[in-house]
Structure 1
Amino acid sequence: MLIHPWDAAHDDTEWQQWLAVHDFGQLAVNGLPGEAPYVQPLHFLYDAERAEVLAHLARPNPLWKALEADPEVLLSVVDDYVYAPGYWQAMPDAPPEHGTPTSYYAAVQLRCRAHLVDDPAEKADLLNRLMDHFQPEGGSARVAAGEDPYDRMLSGLRGLRLEVTDVRAKFKYAGHKPQAHERIATGLANRAGPRDATALAHLRRRRLQRP
């Protein structure tokens, strides 16, 4: 992923706060010899304090052999994306039709080393941490090895702990076109399509927080 200086995260807090509320992504795993990479959509929990990601998948999933062969993986999360037509992009002294269309989006890529979790007690702890994140209101029994109602299900899945070794974060919101910000902002506000309000908030926030 190309990251120009004006699109880079201002600091770790920016991408960590964004990732805290964007907990669905795609896990890319190197394929076995002669096979294409595996790409697995999944919900996950990112723990900033421990620099790790937690997830689980069904035991029959074909990517386990690939993970065992090569534990280096990439978790990619992309959201808040919009299409920006060219006539929004033109500089104030240029005709609108001379503008270049582009995409705006936020993206975080976590390079990780995968650790497989098969111990029943460790899997139960991992699942409880996931449930605490995704349904903090409760409403479900706690997972415990050897106890109903989930014990029999533990053998049918494997836990996944991803040790984060590197992070690449990008917030592409016209950071190199401050002269066109108002035109772009007006376009997003008037169009009011899916994700336009979120993209507009990013554009305005990053303009105010620009180093």
Structure 2
Amino acid sequence: MFIPKYYKVTDFKEITNFINENSFGTLVTIKNEIPIATHIPLLLNQEEEDYFITGHMAYGNPAWRTFEACKEVLVMFQGPHAYISSSWYGHENVPTWNYQAVHVYGKASILDKEELVQDLTLLLEKYEANRENPILWDTLSPELLAAELKGIVGFKIKIREIQASYKMSQNRNEVDYRNIVAQLQNEPNADSHRMAEAMKKREEFRGNKNAAQKEQ
């Protein structure tokens, strides 16, 4: 991914938080020199010093059959994105688009049944645990689970490289930056509002990080 220096993110904790908050990703593999994209919920896991992306897909999906032949696969995570009008600047310029994106590269392999059950258990806990009537692995009937397991394939991707780009008007002066946030909040779509919140959160994160560094 091409990342201008203004937008490159290297803080690992910030990136992992982003992945956990935007975990519906796009897995890209190659079959016969043609890309295959699969859109699926994913989990970020740590095993000792290694990090993995885990998930599952339908048995009929050809993507998992490419894992052995693919040297590496790509997983893309995307956050909010929004059009930025140049009328929001205090000077003449062209419009642009703000976004957050993380690309993960690594070697994929198939989970065995026990690993798949563990991963599905964690996935349900992530999205169900705080609900009034959570549907967790142990609350589902063994018959249903056995039937569903026959129709899916679990996988894990050992992470080799992570690339993160947050294009969020960091190259603008403070007055323009604050005006962009305010204008985004007035836009009639949810993505613009989410980008405004992400820009405010990003500035708070950077402010707290800088303050911590000064104290050291």
TM-score (norm 1): 0.84
- Give the conservation status (yes or no) of the 8 Å contact 1:124–1:143: no
SS across alignment from 2:81: strand
Give the Cα separation in 2 of the matches to 1:4 and 1:86.
20
- Give the conservation status (yes or no) of the 8 Å contact 1:7–1:175: yes
Equivalent residue for 1:39?
37
Provide structure 2 residue ranges, at least 5 long, that are not aligned to the other structure.
Answer: 211-216
Q: Residue 154 and residue 102 in structure 1: after superposition, are their counterparts in 2 closer, same or farther (change >3 A)?
A: same
Q: Residue 48 and residue 188 in structure 1: after superposition, are their counterparts in 2 closer, same or farther (change >3 A)?
A: farther
Amino acid paired to 2:161: D
- Alignment partner of 1:205 out of 186, 190, 201: 201
Equivalent residue for 1:171?
166
Give the Cα separation in 1 of the matches to 2:185 and 2:123.
36
- Alignment partner of 1:187 out of 183, 189, 192: 183
- Give the conservation status (yes or no) of the 8 Å contact 1:128–1:143: no
Q: Residue 48 and residue 199 in structure 1: after superposition, are their counterparts in 2 closer, same or farther (change >3 A)?
A: farther
Alignment map for 1:79-158 (pairs within 5 Å): 79-88=79-88, 90=89, 92=90, 94=91, 98-117=92-111, 119-137=112-130, 138-142=134-138, 147-158=142-153
Amino acid paired to 2:83: Y
- Give the conservation status (yes or no) of the 8 Å contact 2:121–2:136: no
Q: CA deviation at 1:10?
A: 5.4
SS across alignment from 2:190: coil
Provide structure 1 residue ranges, at least 5 long, that are not aligned to the other structure.
Answer: none
Amino acid paired to 1:30: I
- Give the conservation status (yes or no) of the 8 Å contact 1:31–1:37: yes
Superposed CA offset, 1:18-68 (max 9, x none): 211111011010222xx4111111111112565111101111111123222
Equivalent residue for 2:26?
26
Give the Cα separation in 1 of the matches to 2:30 and 2:154.
19
Percent identity over the alignment? Answer: 21
TM-score (norm 2): 0.82
Supply the RMSD in Å over aligned alpha carbons: 2.3
Equivalent residue for 1:78?
78
Q: Residue 182 and residue 203 in structure 1: after superposition, are their counterparts in 2 closer, same or farther (change >3 A)?
A: same
Q: CA deviation at 1:152?
A: 3.0
Amino acid paired to 1:173: M
Superposed CA offset, 1:93-123 (max 9, x none): x3xxx32111101111111210112x32232
Q: CA deviation at 1:196?
A: 2.0
Aligned pairs, number: 200
Equivalent residue for 2:51?
51
- Of residues 180-189 and 54-63 in structure 1, the stretch that sits farther from structure 2 once superposed is 180-189
SS across alignment from 2:182: helix
